[in-house]
Amino acid sequence: MAISTVSTTRTPSRFRLLLGEGGTFTRRNPTLVAGGVIISFLALLAIFAPLVTRYDPIALDVVNRLKAPSSEHLFGTDMMGRDLFSRVIYGSRVSLMVGLSVAAIATAIGLVIGLAAGLVRWVDVVVMRVMDGLMAIPSVLLAIAFMALAGSSIRNIIIAITIPEIPRVARLVRGIVMSVREQPFVEAAIAAGTKDIPLLRRHILPSTINPLIVQATYISASAIISEAYLSFLGAGTPPEIPSWGNIVAEGRALFTIAPGAVLFPSIFLALTVLAVNMLGDGLRDRLDPQMQRSLR
């Protein structure tokens, strides 16, 4: 009994660590706060897209095609008369969904593989060789090949982008397990006869959480870029769903006379990725100072 109360108070909780001491938080973590605020704002726009926009993002209105930005159409209209503001706002749904899903799935699968590789010798030998091979294949090209075989749908994009991210998580987790196992407190626990599962739950898993939060944030930034690339190249989101990459790809041909269809989604895309990366940098400085040196 006594032991469990002691162990809950021994270190500041993750929540406390993240929030720091009240009002100084923003001053100490400007990138974290700025990134978080921008992402929250974009997420709200995406969730409340039907309330924010006045037009159906896929409704054709050929009479009003290629209109310049005005109070009627904030970002103008595209070559089929569709309202660009609506399309860009609805497009954020695809990006944020892909970013979140890829980060969550890649982290979960990578965590399991990394733990297994760190603890079980034959898994390490076999699976990590496969992971090395997977990491040698340029990720966007691998995703293009997968999409060419599987056909275009949001589900397939998420799979295509997740696969190349898994080895990065697995390697990170494996590295952490390897170094934690050497720690005196873990050796003591093993010597005291702690079984594998409690050892994992009590000593190894907790050390992976902070680096994984940081890594997942970076993965979602790179997943958002990958989705935009795939859609831009015609191997991504189905053309009937507005996504930033799709809007840019459609606007490409008329870029010289109507640059809005390319520039507005591009600005949103860059801002989103920047905000997620800032969030990642902020979280890294806050949660995982040792990771400073490795970039991704």
Kindly list the residues in this chain that would bind another protein in the complex (CB under 8 A).
129-130, 132-134, 136-142, 144-151, 221, 225-226, 228-229, 232-235, 248, 252, 255-256, 259, 262-263, 266-267, 269-270, 273-274, 277-278, 281, 292-293, 295
We find the least distance from the C-beta atom of residue 232 to another protein, in angstroms, to be: 6
Cβ proximity to another protein: between 136 and 197 the closer is 136
For residue 205 the two structure tokens come to 């898993």
Distance of CA 141 to the CA centre of its chain: 19
Cβ proximity to another protein: between 48 and 255 the closer is 255
| End-to-end Cα separation, the chain, in angstroms | 41
Cβ proximity to another protein: between 71 and 256 the closer is 256
Closest CA to 99 of 223, 202, 215: 223
We find the least distance from the C-beta atom of residue 40 to another protein, in angstroms, to be: 18
We find the least distance from the C-beta atom of residue 58 to another protein, in angstroms, to be: 22
Q: Is-contact 187 155, C-beta < 8 A? A: no
Backbone angles phi, psi at 4, to 5 degrees: -70, -35
Closest CA to 214 of 291, 127, 111, 156: 291
Cβ proximity to another protein: between 77 and 156 the closer is 156
We find the least distance from the C-beta atom of residue 131 to another protein, in angstroms, to be: 9
Q: Is-contact 246 91, C-beta < 8 A? A: yes
We find the least distance from the C-beta atom of residue 96 to another protein, in angstroms, to be: 15
